[in-house]
A and B are shown apart, each in its own frame.
Chain A
């Protein structure tokens, strides 16, 4: 059981406000990803849980116990750093063992734990090597083993995969998901990579400018964005959003992969005629940029690769796939009939 609660947490760096009055609960046993652009406060939040960057005000609870002023080593949390922060002068074994020794775990117990953990992360053959002789992926595993061996209530990970190459990153992603399933512990994972977040999280907390934009499962965040920020941060390419009615201040949005393309007008709800400006063949799918006569352009991701640059095409979107946003960028969820009528009539 390890639920983390932030209560009215603020953080200032000098005069700069990073986080203000943030309230958040991270569920026990969840794989929670703190997602957002750099400087949004996600790492600050993680460091508060770890206790290495205390909050300016507010309280942090772990299992209902106030840990705001508990030293990092006594919180029962373990952290994997972006650049691993392995002790360079110790062997792999020394690195894994260090925290155990500090906590006065008996020798026999230590040996057993190291054996088990190094087995899990595949480091058994490297226990007596120095970190400088290891590859990036192996160092990553050392950092992971060092965290695991403490049997923490919470795993904190600060962009742990960002220093790995794309292939290894994908492999480690799967391993981390499996590890989480096996350990059933709370994972809090910081990243700016939305693909990583979508792939691994069971809860995504999307942040911007020190504020939580939306909290939910990857599906919710993708399908049902609360605001324009979420709609455009998640998904590649981001959601197409443009003004529907200047007077009402309403913007309409839909995902590039939810658009149907055709050479002839085939009906459908939201219909428009446009011209293909660019075409990017990505393998399984093709990305088109389509210009409308009124100067608006949208991106379309389609399984159809048979459209060429300069061709006229008909674009249509189902009514369920349309989102509407108000002037401040918030999602409009009421009075949709009127807006749908407006959208349906706009072709």
Chain B
């Protein structure tokens, strides 16, 4: 009898161990991927930022904080890139959320026209960034073949230099980014709007609610989880903008559209200054971390999760 119990207990011990270990085995592949492709590069990035290291000379030289002090105090272009990135992000976040919201409010009702408009708005999301940039480079061409300038000249207005002028280049890049992403984010807001039960609107109607008040007091708070999600993702994506700038302006003219990602790319793969570029990458990472933390701290209290 005792022996029987003993074997039984041992059996259960085995079960217990299995139960404890099994979950780790299950997540191990995912964790391995994360370790190799996310955590290791992240740590390595920070590590490399303390070295003077280029791809031609394999010898790394420890330089301490010098890369960082160079970034902020010796060279002026990083601060410019940082400022450009902030302007770009601010503009994209503001216009994408505002326009996506307005578009969503317009097309939220089912209907042929609305479905058509929604498809149109979503199409740019399906087109490769490269093609988009090509299309827009033509539309914004500074000579008279460009679409915008053709239209302007039709109205006898002087042509604009769009991507070729330091005053309008950033605006042009922002326009392309907004145009490309608006359909996708609009879709998210439309689905959130459709999830609001019709009775809420009817109750508001019976409560004699003015239109504007209905929007600000009822609809907007109900959309807040989605809008918050949009705010965080658009901010992160915009801070890391690369392809649009790389294809359309190469950071120019001058450094009018130089943004952090492009800056890092330039120093790492054109000047081969890996250590210096790593320092810039670390700064980008820190900024995004802080920004996201602030968003969650400040805004999450004002979000109504159902």
Residues on A lying within 8 angstroms of B by beta carbon are 50-52, 71-74, 77-79, 81-83, 85-90, 98-99, 102-103, 132, 146, 150
Please, which residues of chain B bring their CB within 8 A of the CB of A73? 205-209
Contact B206 A88, beta carbon cutoff 8 Å: no
- Asked whether any CB of chain A lies closer than 8 Å to the CB of B304, the reply is yes
Contact A87 B199, beta carbon cutoff 8 Å: no
Contact A102 B209, beta carbon cutoff 8 Å: yes
10 new A-B contacts, CB < 8 A, other than A79-B206, A82-B199, are A72-B205, A77-B206, A85-B199, A85-B200, A86-B203, A87-B204, A89-B224, A90-B217, A103-B208, A146-B203
Query: Which parts of B200-221 form the interface with A (CB within 8 Å)?
Result: 200, 202-210, 213, 217-218, 221
Chain B interface residue count, Cβ-Cβ cutoff 8 angstroms: 20
Main SS of the interface on chain B?
A: helix
Contact B203 A79, beta carbon cutoff 8 Å: yes
- Asked whether any CB of chain A lies closer than 8 Å to the CB of B3, the reply is no
Shortest A75–chain B CB gap in Å is 8
Shortest B279–chain A CB gap in Å is 44
- Asked whether any CB of chain A lies closer than 8 Å to the CB of B104, the reply is no
Inter-chain CA distance A89–B215, complex, in Å, is 13
- From B199, B205, B304, give the contact of A89 (CB < 8 A): B304
Contact A85 B202, beta carbon cutoff 8 Å: yes
Contact A89 B208, beta carbon cutoff 8 Å: no
Inter-chain CA distance A50–B213, complex, in Å, is 21
Closest to B218 in A: A87
Inter-chain CA distance A51–B203, complex, in Å, is 11
- Asked whether any CB of chain A lies closer than 8 Å to the CB of B140, the reply is no
- Asked whether any CB of chain A lies closer than 8 Å to the CB of B23, the reply is no
Contact B206 A52, beta carbon cutoff 8 Å: yes
Please, which residues of chain A bring their CB within 8 A of the CB of B197? 83, 85
- Asked whether any CB of chain A lies closer than 8 Å to the CB of B260, the reply is no
Inter-chain CA distance A137–B149, complex, in Å, is 65
Contact A89 B221, beta carbon cutoff 8 Å: yes
Closest to B214 in A: A102
Shortest B25–chain A CB gap in Å is 38
Task: Please provide the 8 A-B residue pairs with the shortest distance between their CB atoms, ordered closest to farther.
Answer: A73-B208, A85-B199, A99-B207, A89-B221, A89-B304, A85-B203, A52-B202, A72-B205
Contact A87 B206, beta carbon cutoff 8 Å: no
Please, which residues of chain B bring their CB within 8 A of the CB of A72? 202, 205-206, 208
Contact B209 A88, beta carbon cutoff 8 Å: no
Shortest B135–chain A CB gap in Å is 41
Inter-chain CA distance A253–B79, complex, in Å, is 93
Contact A88 B207, beta carbon cutoff 8 Å: no
Inter-chain CA distance A150–B203, complex, in Å, is 13
Inter-chain CA distance A83–B197, complex, in Å, is 10
Q: Mark B217-237, 1 if CB is under 8 A from A, else 0.
A: 110011010000000000000
Contact A74 B208, beta carbon cutoff 8 Å: yes
Inter-chain CA distance A83–B203, complex, in Å, is 11
Closest to A83 in B: B199
- Given the interface pairs A52-B202, A81-B203, A83-B197, the reply to whether A88 lies near B306 with Cβ below 8 Å is yes
Contact A88 B217, beta carbon cutoff 8 Å: no
Please, which residues of chain A bring their CB within 8 A of the CB of B224? 89
Inter-chain CA distance A87–B209, complex, in Å, is 13
Contact B203 A89, beta carbon cutoff 8 Å: no
Inter-chain CA distance A86–B207, complex, in Å, is 12
Please, which residues of chain B bring their CB within 8 A of the CB of A103? 208
Shortest B26–chain A CB gap in Å is 33
Contact B202 A89, beta carbon cutoff 8 Å: no
Inter-chain CA distance A89–B205, complex, in Å, is 17
- From A50, A90, A132, give the contact of B206 (CB < 8 A): A50
List 15 A–B pairs whose Cβ atoms lie within 8 Å, in order of A's numbering: A71-B205, A71-B208, A72-B206, A73-B208, A74-B208, A79-B206, A85-B197, A85-B202, A87-B217, A88-B304, A89-B222, A90-B217, A98-B209, A102-B208, A102-B209
Contact B199 A81, beta carbon cutoff 8 Å: yes
Inter-chain CA distance A89–B206, complex, in Å, is 18
Shortest A67–chain B CB gap in Å is 13
Residue with the greatest number of chain A CB neighbours at <10 A, chosen from B199, B203, B213: B203
Inter-chain CA distance A77–B217, complex, in Å, is 22
Shortest A190–chain B CB gap in Å is 14
Contact B200 A87, beta carbon cutoff 8 Å: yes
Shortest A141–chain B CB gap in Å is 15
Please, which residues of chain B bring their CB within 8 A of the CB of A99? 206-209
Please, which residues of chain A bring their CB within 8 A of the CB of B199? 81-83, 85
- Given the interface pairs A81-B199, A89-B221, the reply to whether A98 lies near B206 with Cβ below 8 Å is no
Q: Mark B78-104, 1 if CB is under 8 A from A, else 0.
A: 000000000000000000000000000
Inter-chain CA distance A186–B204, complex, in Å, is 22
Please, which residues of chain A bring their CB within 8 A of the CB of B218? 87, 89
